[in-house]
Each structure stands twice: as structure tokens, then as C-alpha cells.
Amino acid sequence: MGPTDVVGEWEDFVESCTEGYLDDIYEFNNDLDIRALIERLLNDRNLARFQQMGWVRAQVSEVDEKYRAILRPEIDRPTRPWWEARLPRLAGAELAEEFRLRYGVEVEVVND
């Protein structure tokens, strides 16, 4: 999987969260893990020398902005990186219930 694939997965995940992520918390966390991989890529000194990384940084920054815009303002998981610390404001019924049970957080439920 190359950097463009990773960015594409991040974009897809953010888009699904924008509409209200419809899967369970395990899938949510699994899909969210792509951002940790991106962080490692962005901080990899060996990759930094490739011209393509400028595009990757720009794309990731744009998608990060979109993700930040759909997150709750409160920090729900304080010991985690920014992309995990706050939860999306919208979720499917199952994920919303899991957010409530695990973190005591109420999010808006979207219909599946």
C-alpha cells in the first residue's frame, strides 16, 4: 500500500464519518488506525526526501481539517492522539450506543 492509497483510505473514512459512521466501534477503531499509519509516514525521515510527500502532506492536511470539523468539541479520550481524542458528532445507532456505554458520550444518531 502506497502513500496515495493510505490517503485515500483516510479520505474514505472521514467521508463515512461525515455522513455518520454506520459500523460498530471495533470497525470504527480499525478504520481510524489508518491515521496513525499516516502519522508515521509523515514523520518518516526516509520518506521526507520524496517529492510525492509534499502532495501527501497537503492532502492529509485537507482531510484532517474535514475530520476536525465533524468532531465533538470535547475531548472524550484524553490520552490519545488528536484524531482519537475526540469523537464524531454523528454515528449509526450501534456506534452511538457504544460511544455512550464506553465513554459516556452522546452523539447524534443517523438512520442506517
Please give the residue range of the domain that contains residue 95: 3-110
Please count the structural domains in the chain.
Answer: 1
pTM over 0.95: no
Count the Cβ atoms, other than its own, within 10 Å of residue 2. 10
Q: Assign 51 a pLDDT band (cuts: 50, 70, 90).
A: confident
Per-residue pLDDT, averaged over 10-29, amounts to 97
- Measuring CA to CA, how many Å separate 73 from each of 1, 76, 95, 106? 33, 9, 18, 12
Q: Is the pLDDT of residue 112 over 90?
A: no
